[in-house]
Structure 1
Amino acid sequence: MTKYSNKKCRFVILISGRGSNMQELIKTCNSDNWPAEISAVISNNPKAAGLDWANNNYINSTYLDSSKYSNRDDFDRDLSIEIDKYSPDYILLAGFMRILGCSFVRKYYGKLINIHPSLLPAFPGLDTHGRAISSGVRIHGCTVHFVSPELDSGPIIAQGYVNVFSKDTVEILSERVLEIEHKVFPSVAHWLTLNEVILDKDDKVSILNNHNGLFYL
């Protein structure tokens, strides 16, 4: 049995929509009694369904409406102010559909963790499932990685793999990838609470206790 320290790992979670990865992470954290505290859920979308879910589960939640900002720097500044209220150990991007500026990323480098719906470096950016089908790949999946200033290119922590079938549509493949996301992201978050993910000065990731960072559906 793993022995937990008395210090809880503090997470702030960023979302833009329903926050299904956020929900799965929080439910797993609570059911498995992680040494963690979900300090806040923050969205750039005031209508994000995930905010209602967080409120209903007694988690601090708020939003900064990114559509009201004329430039990225102002939004990033206010988001940083809001995040810093909670002094998080890690900031988890769980379907946060907004590009963060270089200054913001550098400030929190090593604390920002994102989940992306492809096997990076393949298919960075949007429409990952459609591009995977169009390209003819037979393996697709998701990647959990540290966020770097270059989009979807930070050091990789873990990846989840799914098959791509000839009759797959974007919707079908999306659901299959989401299923593996719900395994990979909570696992990585748990490793973080146990200090088992190490990012060294050369941006190389090590995972302790024989976790190999590979998941299969």
Structure 2
Amino acid sequence: MLRVAVLISGAGSNLQALLEATADPAFPAQVVVVGADRQAAGLAHADHFGIPSFVVPWRGAAEREAWGEQLQQQLERWQPDLVVLSGLMKLLPAAVVEAWSPRIVNTHPAYLPEFPGAHGVRDALAAGAARTGASVIVVDSGVDSGPILAQERVPVLPEDDEHTLHERIKPVERRLLIDVVRRIAVGELDLTAASAP
């Protein structure tokens, strides 16, 4: 059984979908802890499913390394096999990435390498893109630059704004994430091989 830690910043819609999937005894992974960088609304999903949670408050870029050390201590305590960034809106310090790489995956609301960064949906609209997408990647030291594990295209409709487009991308992100976690758990996806240069 694959042990998964999930890190969030917001409402945790991907987290909720993953918790629903892992509640099925036939699913080959379990979420063992949920962490956040603030008192995020998504922590309620962990409470609902009886999953332990922790908060390591973000105190600003000047204390980024100290924040990373505290986050690392929490992750080490729970010893997950996989760390999922699910809407965590902070870049992990290099020491945390190095400690868990390649066992850290992230979802992103764009068809990488198109539109990396915190505003992938907004950037796709600003570029006038006819289509964007969703991706699940291995986290590396860059910004949304790690190996791509799964991705799918989503069309941009003429009437789309940032909210409507993001709402259509989210279900695709959730589906891809659940499938990637399942594939890792059953050995269909080798993160070490995926991350090899």
1:58 corresponds to which of 50, 61, 71: 50
2:159 corresponds to which of 162, 167, 190: 167
Using structure 1 for the length normalisation, give the TM-score: 0.86
> What's the counterpart of residue 20 of structure 1?
13
> What's the counterpart of residue 123 of structure 1?
115
Contact 2:105–2:138 (8 Å) recurs in 1:
yes
Alpha-carbon offset, residue 199 of structure 1: 3.2
Measured in 2, the distance between the counterparts of 1:167 and 1:9 equals 41
Q: Cα RMSD between the aligned structures? A: 1.7
Residue by residue over 1:32-63, the C-alpha shift from the partner in whole angstroms, topping out at 9 and shown as x without a partner, is 621222110000012x1111221122000111
Residues 80 and 186 of structure 1, relative CA distance in 2, 3 Å threshold: same
The answer to whether 1:155 aligns with 2:155 is no
> What's the counterpart of residue 95 of structure 1?
87
Residues 16 and 183 of structure 1, relative CA distance in 2, 3 Å threshold: same
Matches within 5 A, 1:81-92: 81-92=73-84
Measured in 2, the distance between the counterparts of 1:30 and 1:58 equals 11
Using structure 2 for the length normalisation, give the TM-score: 0.94
The answer to whether 1:104 aligns with 2:93 is no
Q: Classify the secondary structure of the residue corresponding to 1:184.
A: helix
Higher helix share: 2
Q: Any stretches of 5+ residues in structure 2 without a counterpart?
A: none
Contact 2:132–2:156 (8 Å) recurs in 1:
yes
Q: Any stretches of 5+ residues in structure 1 without a counterpart?
A: 1-7, 206-217
Contact 1:45–1:66 (8 Å) recurs in 2:
yes
2:35 corresponds to which of 30, 39, 42: 42
Identity %: 30
Q: Which has the larger radius of gyration?
A: 1
Q: Number of residues paired by the alignment?
A: 197
Measured in 2, the distance between the counterparts of 1:53 and 1:26 equals 8
Q: Please identify runs of 4+ aligned residues in structure 1 that moved more than 4 A.
A: none
2:177 corresponds to which of 185, 193, 196: 185
